[in-house]
Amino acid sequence: MERTFLMVKPDGVQRGLIGEITARFEKKGFKLAGAKLMNISEDLAKEHYGEHKDRPFFGELVEFITSGPVFAMVWEGKDVIATARFMMGKTNPAEAAPGTIRGDYAVQVSNNIIHGSDSPESAVREIGLFFKEEELVAYEKSVAAWI
């Protein structure tokens, strides 16, 4: 089953949106495999966002993502990587459709509430950066036959 890494960013945690956001993925039919509230070190932030290291906003991005706790999660399900990105909405909240997380709760590209892996390779890499294998829980959900 496919897995993705999702993270409520510091702005989402500060604004009390952990519950709203996790509820959307639960109701959709995905399965939570692991979750934790944590602070991101500068080293982890730079590693996680390494693909953006030459972009002008890299410094601000690292500063923002380390500015307060994040809620890191691993979710499982059919096509969860692409579907979660669709549910998050476009990177720039001004372009994110209403009904998406960024479309409903964010205004600025630098404070866009949630991160989600953008490919199967990113998902494996990011899950490995944030979680130890023993922190992920394997279990059955009784609704599995319908979704």
Distance CA 85, CA 78 (A): 13
What are residue 108's DSSP bridge partners? 111
Q: Is 86 in the site for ligand RTP (CB under 6 A)?
A: no
What's the CA angle centered on 37, arms 31 and 43, to 5 degrees?
110
Binding test (CB under 6 A) with ligand RTP, winner from 2, 118, 135, 136: 118
Identify whether the C-beta of residue 5 lies closer than 8 Å to the C-beta of residue 48: no
Binding residues for ligand RTP, total number by CB under 6 A: 10
Q: Which of 3, 31, 48, 115 is catalytic?
A: 115
57/86 with CB nearer ligand RTP: 57
Q: Of 6-65, which residues contact ligand RTP (CB under 6 A)?
A: 52, 57, 61
**Which residues make Cβ contacts (< 8 Å) with residue 91, sequence separation at least 6?**
102, 109, 112
- Work out how close the CB of 144 gets to ligand RTP at its nearest, in angstroms, rounded to a whole number: 28
**Residue 67, φ and ψ in degrees, nearest 5:** -80, -15
48 is catalytic: no
Q: Is 116 in the site for ligand RTP (CB under 6 A)?
A: yes
20/92 with CB nearer ligand RTP: 92
Q: Is 76 in the site for ligand RTP (CB under 6 A)?
A: no
Q: Is 19 exposed, middle or buried (0-12, 13-18, 19+ CB in 10 A)?
A: exposed
What are residue 72's DSSP bridge partners? 7, 36
The answer to the question of whether 125 is labelled as a binding residue is: no
Which positions lie near ligand RTP, rule CB under 6 A? 52, 57, 61, 91, 109-110, 112, 115-116, 118
Point out the residues that are catalytic.
115
Residues at the binding site for ATP are 9, 57, 85, 91, 102, 112
